[in-house]
Each structure stands twice: as structure tokens, then as C-alpha cells.
Amino acid sequence: MSGKSKNKKDDGSKTIAENRRARREYEIEDVIEAGLVLTGTEVKALREGHATIREAYASPENDGVWLINANIPEYSAGNRENHEPKRPRKLLLSKREIARLSQAVERKGYTIAPLRLYFNDRGIAKLEIGLAHGRKMHDKRAVEKDRDWSRQQQRLLRDRG
């Protein structure tokens, strides 16, 4: 083993939450890294490693893109100034990215799915979002079948030597 912890990526980022279900439910067309507007207690709660983005989605509004329904629980050592766990959070994107995402959602019927919440190598909280469209049930089965077959191929090659 390389000695790195399980939740570290090669680029030095520390994953807090991952939405594996989104990769199964949606065909991801494009992946974008976005910053988040957070309060101090939210950042501290994220540093504790408590967050879920399984039921979350991003929605383009008139002034930007918002992360809806992401759960960052209250900070354990926080006081009465603690944050609301499921409040909408603004995503920090360029105007061009916001325009492209909102056009894709309105015209083409795409969804903006959060894929991964992490701290980058500088310690800043980032969200990886994907421009996606939904898969049908038979598509999900085909993808699972291909993934299983590739896993089995890798296993056979590894055992062969």
C-alpha cells in the first residue's frame, strides 16, 4: 500500500462526502469544481467530517447557482450562533459557468448533481458538480453489467500473473 489514507486523492484533497448514487442514477456529461459560501460553524462541522450530499441537488436561480438540501449538521462545540443544517448554500462559479449551467437545465433538461464535497490542497471547501441527465432502468443495468465485467477482467489478469 502507498501509505495514503483512504479518503485522500492524489491531488492532496480530503474528501468529506461523496454522492456515489449520482453516478449510478445519472449520465455525467461535464464535471465542474465550485466553491461554497459557508459560515464558520459549517466549516468546522465539515472539518469534523460530518456532511451528506446524497439527497442534494443544485438549482440555478436568478443570481447564481444554489446547493439545495445538503446536510451539514450543527457544529458540536457551537453555541446559539450555530448554522441551520439544511439551508441553501450559494455556489461560487464564474458568470460564464452559471449561464452555461442554467441554459443546459432550462433548454436541454439536464440536472446539476453534486458529486463530491472536499477540502482542496489549500484547505478550502470545494464541491464537484456534474452536468447530468437521468438514466433509464435498462441503462443502469447495462452500466452495472459493464462495470462488473471490467472488474472480473482485472481480477483474471491479476491472478494470471
C-alpha to C-alpha distance for 25 and 60, rounded to whole angstroms: 20
- The answer on pLDDT for 88 being more than 80 is yes
- The answer on pLDDT for 118 being more than 90 is yes
At 34, the pLDDT band (50, 70, 90 cuts) reads very high
* pTM greater than 0.85 (yes/no): no
Percentages (nearest 5) of helix, strand, coil residues in the chain: 30, 30, 35
- The answer on pLDDT for 8 being more than 60 is no
Between 67 and 13, the more confident residue is 67
Q: What is the pLDDT of residue 2?
A: 43
Contact at 8 Å (CB) between 64 and 74?
A: no
Tell me which amino acid residue 116 is: R
Q: What is the DSSP string of 42-110?
A: HHHHHHTT--B-TT-EEEEETTEEEEES-B-PPPTT--TTPPPTT--EEEE--HHHHHHHHHHHHHH--
Please give the grid coordinates belonging to residue 70: 445538503
- The answer on pLDDT for 1 being more than 50 is no
CATH of domain 14-135: 2.40.280.10
Domain extents for the chain?
A: 14-135
pLDDT more than 90, % of the chain? 42
DSSP 8-state symbol, 8: B
